[in-house]
Amino acid sequence: MPATVHPVLNRDREEIRIPSPHGEPLLGYLTRRGLRGSVRTDRTGDVITLDGEPEMARVVGALADWRTPDR
């Protein structure tokens, strides 16, 4: 059984860090919840940069509800 993947929110930069390859599925989920952004990959994983000025409480709630696609 795979381990649960937990996204990490950086409120100051309005970014979410998550291990690859989970950035695209998480961004798709956030988009369906009305949050916009883009994903890029660096040497430590995927980084989602949120667009606009998202309400951080809403972002935190969406992240709490998100589950990895294989669960």
Task: Report the alpha-carbon distance of residue 10 to residue 17 in Å, rounded.
Answer: 8
Query: What is the SS3 assignment for 64?
Result: helix
Average pLDDT rounded to a whole number, residues 12-21: 95
Taking only the tens place, the pLDDT of each residue in 24-49 is 999 999 999 999 999 999 999 999 99
Q: How far apart are the first and last CA of the chain?
A: 9
Task: Write the DSSP symbol of residue 19.
Answer: -
Domain 8-65 belongs to what architecture? 2-Layer Sandwich (3.30)
Sort 15 into a burial class: Cβ within 10 Å, 0-12 / 13-18 / 19+.
middle
| pTM of the model as a whole | 0.89
Average pLDDT rounded to a whole number, residues 62-71: 80
Q: 21: cis peptide before it, omega within 30°?
A: yes
Tokens of 42: 């660096």
